[in-house]
Each structure stands twice: as structure tokens, then as C-alpha cells.
Structure 1
Amino acid sequence: MNDIRDNASPAHDFDFLHGDWDVAHRRRTDFLDPDSDWEEFPAVSRCRPLFGGAANIDEIDVPSRGWTGLTLRLFDVETELWSLNWSSSRTGRLFPPVFGRFGPDGRGEFHGDDTHDGRDVRVRFVWSGISATTARWEQAFSVDGEDTWLVNWTMDFTRRGAG
């Protein structure tokens, strides 16, 4: 693994994400159906630090779909957990946050509770494949108490100007 995160301080775990990125989205057409089709579309993301790195905000522009989204990430100094808070221009509302941290292997895992199409779901975000020029985000839902997970959205990040 080529993890460039500064493991000296978990408050800086997301420093790798600062800057401008091209993003390749791949998501299921039905987040709860393992047999649903996948759709792919591009986006551009820009992330900037807040609170000296212990928080950040990114905005992702998805012109082919006609929406933008943002994530506010906050590091809780007391619990040493990150909260990831998502909203999009489609709703103008914050979704329930997911909470977690990066492990010694450089993989970040974050969990929370939400609803999708009227069903309670357990949500998992995973950050992996982190390098100076790449990163991967994955979303999965569980409807059976985390016995099984269905990956329903991935984003592959490539730093703009890296190619």
C-alpha cells in the first residue's frame, strides 16, 4: 500500500484529499438490489482544509447529472473519531453522519444509520487506495444488521494534473 497519510496525528487523516480531483463514479441504479445495473459518470471535486486540518469540506460537481454535493468532515478531538456529513443540491439537507477512523493499514471505515426508500439501512463508507495522486471511496448498505453488505457506489479519485 502506498498510504501517504500522516499517521502521527489522526486529526490530519484526510489531508491527502485537499486539492482538486477528477472523480469517476460508479453506482447501482437501485442501492438495495444486488442485481441492479451500474451507471457511470464523471465529476470534479475540490477539497479544502478547515480548523488547521482537523476538518475539511469538499464540493463535488456532477454536471452530467445536474447536481452538486458536499461533504463536511470533522475530527472529534475527544473521541478521535471523524464524522462525515453529506448533502447535495438535490435535497439541500444533511444526511445522517457516519463515524469512524483510519486503521494502521491505511483503510478508513465509517458507519452510521440511515433510511433508503423507506427501509432502515446501516451505512458503511470505506476510504482506501490512498496515494499522492489516487484515492477510492466506497459506500455499502446493510439491511441485516451488518451480516452482509451491498456495495452500491464507488468513486475513484485522480488528482487533477497528475497525468
Structure 2
Amino acid sequence: MSGPHDFDFLHGDWDVRNRRLVDFLDDRGGWEEFPATGRCWSLFDGAANVDELTVPGQGWKGLTLRLFDPEARVWSLNWSSSRSGKLFPPVTGAFGSDGRGVFHGDDTYGGKDVRVRFVWSGISAGTARWEQAFSVDGGNTWVTNWVMEFTRPATS
């Protein structure tokens, strides 16, 4: 069952390897890869956090605000980018007993309604994996379109 400290693993600094489809709905359209750095910090005694992703090679930053609803025992994940300055519709969900976090929501992409899925997995003290997928058929089929591999930066 999810709790207010599910995202404690993410606190601190990260190196992030991004692999993203050029067109989020076309898995034949090719992938782009780029590095980023991330930093996450806790709020509300663990029941909220913010992370900022810095992508210097592309000149933008991203931000996620995560909020835990103690009554429903679910998280809402809210994304924004410096490119748009807008808050995208949230995805909501929870972590299962297997340690994976699965979150769903609705949005639009390229004028089409899409179902959105975020999955957090591979979580350890030094690694984590996030992936995003879109569905245009109500969740029957999914196109994974963005994967981030998080590793802790090397200390000198």
C-alpha cells in the first residue's frame, strides 16, 4: 500500500539518461537520447516533493510536483516544462507490493486524446527508472515514448 514516503528514494542529486521518441505516438519514428541532471527535495514531511530536471544540451528544464493524498492513499504527479510554463494534467496512482509505482491520467498530444501511464521501477539507493507511455485506444495498447534512467552522480 502506498504511503507518504514512497518517493524518499528520489531525494537528492541524480544523473539522468533520457531516451525519448521523436514523435510520442510513432514508435517507428526514431529515438533521441540526451543527458540531464536532476535534484529532488521533500516537502510536507515526505508527503510531497519537487524535482527539477535540467537539460542543458536542449536548453530547457522540467519540474514535477508530487503530492500524496492520505485519505485515498494515492499520489498525484504533476509535470511542467520551462518550454511551455504550463502544468500538464496529473497522473495518479500508487506503489504496489512489488515496489513498482504505476500512475495513469488523461491528456492530449498532437490534437489526440491520450491515456498516459508513468511507471517507476528498478528502485535502489543508486538507481531508478521512469517510463512514460501513451495510449490512443483507452489503454488497450501502449507506446512507451520516454525512458529516464537515474543514477547517483559519482563522488570525488
**What TM-score, normalized by structure 1, do the two folds share?**
0.93
Partner of 1:64: 57
Q: What is the 5 A alignment of 1:5-154?
A: 10-154=3-147
TM-superposed CA distance for 1:162, in Å, is 6.2
Question: Which amino acid is the alignment partner of residue 122 of structure 2?
Answer: G
TM-superposed CA distance for 1:113, in Å, is 0.1
Secondary structure, counterpart of 1:105 in structure 2: coil
Identical pairs, percent: 71
Query: Considering only aligned residues, what root-mean-square deviation do their CA atoms show, in Å?
Result: 1.3
Question: Which amino acid is the alignment partner of residue 32 of structure 2?
Answer: E
Secondary structure, counterpart of 1:12 in structure 2: coil
Answer whether contact 1:44 1:61 (CA < 8 A) is retained: yes
- Deviating 4+ runs (over 2 angstroms): none
Question: Which amino acid is the alignment partner of residue 154 of structure 2?
Answer: G
The separation in 2 between residues aligned to 1:86 and 1:129, in whole angstroms, is 21
The separation in 2 between residues aligned to 1:151 and 1:162, in whole angstroms, is 32
The separation in 2 between residues aligned to 1:26 and 1:96, in whole angstroms, is 22
Deviations 1:39-84 (A, max 9, x none): 0000000000000000000001000010001000000011000000
* Unpaired runs of at least 5, structure 2: none
Deviations 1:120-141 (A, max 9, x none): 0000000000000000000000
Count of aligned pairs between the two proteins: 156
Secondary structure, counterpart of 1:52 in structure 2: helix
* Unpaired runs of at least 5, structure 1: 1-6
